[in-house]
Amino acid sequence: MTGTDLRPIVLLLGPPGAGKGTQARFLRDTLAIPHLASGDLLRDHRRLGTPLGIEAQTYMDRGDLVADQLVIDMVMERLGRPDARRGALLDGMPRTRAQAEIVDGMLADRNSAVRAALYLDVPTEILVERIAGRWLCPSCQATYPGRSSTPPGNGTCTECRDQLYQRPDDRPDVVQHRIEVYLSSTVPVIEHYARRGLLVRIDGDRSISTVRMSLVISIGGVVIGRRRARWHLFVNHDFRAVSGDAPWHGRTLCGHLVNSHTDPGLGSEDDFRSHPCHECHVAIRARPGGISHTGPRTR
């Protein structure tokens, strides 16, 4: 079995307030794979009254944390659905080293493998400031920055017009404790994937578009165009479920193929900033659609 025979799984890790939700939507659309967040799966199973949801409710009724294996079973059930056959993005999961080891083994049994663990690294003081001032949409889960006492704009979501709210546990002292708890349990996960050569640290204390640029480079790179001296962002084909030898090793955000035999070497973030492809640049500023798989162009 070759590496490209395995269904690729991408992990997005980071403490509360690091921007995982915003960047997860971008990665989901860019990679054209489903975004799986353990919290969303838990809520869905409880709402639908599935056997997994009923079992999870028994833990919550007792005031206990839902067992690791139950959360993992929910993730694996979701990975068995047709839309995840080409891969998936796991958001905030696994959270402990024990979970990571179990997930790795269960993925291997399902012809899947973690291709990259992307960690959004943000200083604690910035996280507290962000979370204490964030407002949420109850319908689409969109997040809006603001102040702890005043919602942004007119207080409604720009997407679905629902009234924004703040979580009761988003007070600065509670937030500080949540972050400390997260880091204490997640540092071993980071070390686990670092030892396997899969961890990529991303500076999350920058603009959304700059973080997006770094995320794409971490799962692909920067390559210059053949017709014009413009730099493109591309995603490596290893993050897509393909079999056999491929004559190309990636696809740019503007839809061109990157040929592993004829294209020049990789560039840097500075190269892309200096002379970016307009379409690739727009893709990291706006919310992009999935990369097209029909009628590929050559760059």
Which residues are annotated as catalytic? 20, 95, 134, 167, 178
Q: Can you list the pairs that 204-212 forms with residues at least 24 positions away whose Cβ atoms lie under 8 Å?
A: 204/14, 204/18, 204/19, 204/120, 204/121, 204/122, 205/121, 205/122, 205/123, 205/126, 208/19, 208/22, 208/23, 209/284, 209/285, 211/19, 211/23, 211/120, 212/23, 212/26, 212/284
Which residues on adjacent β-strands are paired with residue 259?
248
Cβ atoms 224, 237 nearer than 8 A: no
The crossing angle, in degrees rounded to 10, of helices 97-109 and 172-195 is 50
Can you tell me whether residue 264 is helix, strand or coil? coil
Can you tell me whether residue 243 is helix, strand or coil? coil
Check residue 201 and give left, alpha or beta (phi > 0: left; psi -120 to 50: alpha). beta
Check residue 225 and give left, alpha or beta (phi > 0: left; psi -120 to 50: alpha). beta
Cβ atoms 11, 114 nearer than 8 A: yes
Of 183, 168, 172, 174, whose CA–CA distance to 123 is shortest? Answer: 183
